[in-house]
Structure 1
Amino acid sequence: MSTTYLLAYVDDILVTGISATEIESLIQQLHAVFTLKDLGEMSFFLGVEVVRDSPDSLLLKQSKYIKELLGKANIPDAKPVPTSMLNSPKLTGLQYATITRPEIAYSVSKVSQYMHAPSDLHWKAVKRILRYLDGTIDLGLQIHKSDTLRIMAFSDSDWATDTDGRKSVSGYCVFLGTNLVTWSSRKQRTVSRSSTEAEFWALADAMTDTIWLQKLLLEMRLPPGPAPTMFCDNQSTVLMTRNPVLHSRSKYFEIDLHFVRNIVVQQLAHVVHIPSQDQFADILTKLLS
């Protein structure tokens, strides 16, 4: 037996599955209940363009949306730049652009923090992001056919880099097989007393997302893959997930510590060290050239 999936958002519906016959049957059943227009193979959904660039891969991009964004900002002919932000100090629409552009997640998160009282400096930072998008308008998120449902997550933090309040930045990205499916870049809620604490909060956030993804796959009736692997470039954080002894420096984040350690003890996930130069989540915690 095969499974057919239906994704609905208001009056936009996406139907997919392995069996073309079952997909057509479902569409006909829907059509019998209410009038609908079959637009054929997916090419555009909720502002995201879908390009089939090979039999086994899709490219998700937002070229049309970015052009509209440039028009709203009154810079349709902006001079492109190679990076999204300078190493110095929003439009609401920029958040939506990160759906297919994870590399601007850190920059957009950074400028969003000043929406309550933006200055000319912040507006210049926003315009630079838009100019970067203008020069890379056809880039997007590549989705390949994958032979595995293995989940891998990369977590990272940049400790106490916020000069306004000395809060750290958490970043993580989660892969399903060979495909990047979810990511995050945000300022941590409280001030971390050590780099280990900051790294642990980032790891806990990433682990929460992997658990959510596992439950989603179960709801979709997909066979469970191996236990997720969590990659972290902080040796102290990795060791603390295995060491049952609570250190004095861990007492400020014991809830997250117990949460992560319980997952590791039950072998529901594995935490391993990764060299910083191989850390994918680095782009979500700091500015990179």
Structure 2
Amino acid sequence: MAYLLLYIDDMILSASSTSLLQQIITKLKFEFAVKDMGALQYFLSIDVQRTDHGFFLSQASYVDDLLKRAGMLNCKPVATPCDTKPKPSSTAGKPIADASFYRIMAGAVQFLTVTRPDIAHAVQQVCLHMHSPPDVHSTMLKRIMRYIKGTPSLGIHLRAASSPTLMAYNDANWAGCLDTRRSTFGFCVFLGDSLISWSSKRQTTVSRSSAEAEYRGVANAVAECSWLRHLLGELHCDISKATVVFCDNVSMVYMSRNPIHHKRTKHIELDIHFVREKVAIGEVRVLHVPSAR
């Protein structure tokens, strides 16, 4: 189902038809003093471009302002937002002179992840050290700036889907944090061909195996998918098919189907019960995908 977007003052209205949209606007004008700004083009630093297939969201103008504030308008672009080397610990390097500027720029880059999932993990790593940033993490922040310098027009495509389906991909970096040995998990959720939700976050507890780290990540992805299914249901866009969640850990896939809990899995039993319940009622399917894909 295609939806129309209209910008009124500080509010975006969406409807499935022009007539319904006009009815809503008329009722709002009767109750409030509102101003119709026409078709949505710009909102909260997000540029909205209409195409034949849907919408394209980007923050190109925000990127220019961000590079100006950082004094990096003429910096040399790089191909990736972070390198493949292990991330430095919080004790590596020397404290920087202006920690407040680091926090301001890290927060500003974090807002850019609204339309840039490609920098979500790199920004998450940078934001972990806002309390006392060393120079090595300042270099990581500058690398993100250099990356967005070369990719200012990247964004998110929102396309219409004839039959709405939810699909999620999940992965975890087991014990990747050098300071706490906590794992970092990440997931992305697609509605049809459109990426609508993503996250990169450090887990709250230490995982004793890679399968445990993967399972905790899948539990978070399944929780996000369950919330999205309920939200779409309230919008009268019911999803009849089960949500497919992909992960690259075979042990995790077996645990989602096996009703027997062994001693080695008791410490993650709540997450196992949560995911297995969704699998049992047919709302979720957990499948394996090779790491190369």
TM-score for both structures, normalised by structure 1: 0.90
CA distance in 2, matches of 1:199, 1:107: 20
How far 1:40 sits from its partner (Å)? 1.3
**1:15 paired residue number:** 13
In structure 1, how many angstroms separate the alpha carbons of the residues matched to 2:41 and 2:5?
A: 16
| CA deviations over 1:83-136 (Å, ceiling 9, x no partner) | 111234342111111111001000000011100000121111111101111110
Q: Work out whether 1:40 is the aligned partner of 2:55.
A: no
1:214-253 mapped onto 2 (5 Å cutoff): 214-253=229-268
Counterpart in 2 of 1:67?
A: 64
2:281 matched to which residue of 1? 266
Distance 1:225 1:43 in 2: 33
CA distance in 2, matches of 1:168, 1:200: 11
Among residues 111, 115, 118, which one is paired with 2:130 in the alignment?
A: 115
Runs of 4+ with >3 A deviation? 2-9
Q: Distance in 1 between matches of 2:6 and 2:204?
A: 33
CA distance in 2, matches of 1:59, 1:22: 23
Cα distance between partner residues in 2 of 1:200 and 1:247: 15
CA distance in 1, matches of 2:56, 2:5: 20
Q: Secondary structure of 1:131's partner?
A: helix
Question: Aligned residue for 1:80?
Answer: 77
TM-fit CA distance, 1:272? 1.1
> Among 139, 146, 150, which residue is 1:135 paired with?
150
Gaps of 5+ in 2: 89-102
> Within 2, Cα distance between the matches of 1:111 and 1:247?
38
**1:138–1:164: structure 2 CA closer, same or farther, 3 Å change rule?**
same
- Residue 211 (structure 2) pairs with residue 211 (structure 1): no
Identical positions, percent: 40
Hey, what's the Cα distance between the residues in 2 that align with 1:41 and 1:183?
Answer: 27
Q: Secondary structure at the match of 2:65?
A: helix
Answer whether contact 1:4 1:15 (CA < 8 A) is retained: no
Q: How does 1:118-197 map to 2 (within 5 A)?
A: 118-197=133-212
Give me the whole-angstrom Cα distance separating, in 1, the residues matched to 2:6 and 2:252.
Answer: 38
Distance 1:40 1:8, change over 3 A: closer
Count of paired positions: 275
Matched to 1:204, the amino acid is: A
Q: Deviations over 1:127-146 (max 9, x none)?
A: 11011111100111111121
Deviation track 1:234-288 (CA, whole Å, cap 9, x = no partner) reads 110000111111122212111111111111112221111111122xxxxxxxxxx
Alignment of 1:84-103 (within 5 A): 84-86=81-83, 87=85, 88-89=87-88, 90=103, 91-103=106-118
Deviation at 1:153, TM superposition (A): 0.9
Q: Deviations over 1:40-61 (max 9, x none)?
A: 1111112211112x31122110
One-letter amino acid matched to 1:126: L
Aligned-pair Cα RMSD in Å: 2.1
- Which consecutive residues of structure 1, in runs of 5 or more, have no partner in the other structure? 279-289
User: Counterparts of 2:179 and 2:80 in 1: how far apart (Å)?
Assistant: 24
State whether structure 2 residue 53 is matched by structure 1 residue 56: yes
Partner letter of residue 113 of structure 2? T
In 1, the alpha carbon distance for the partners of 2:108 and 2:260 equals 46
Give the TM-score normalised by structure 2: 0.88
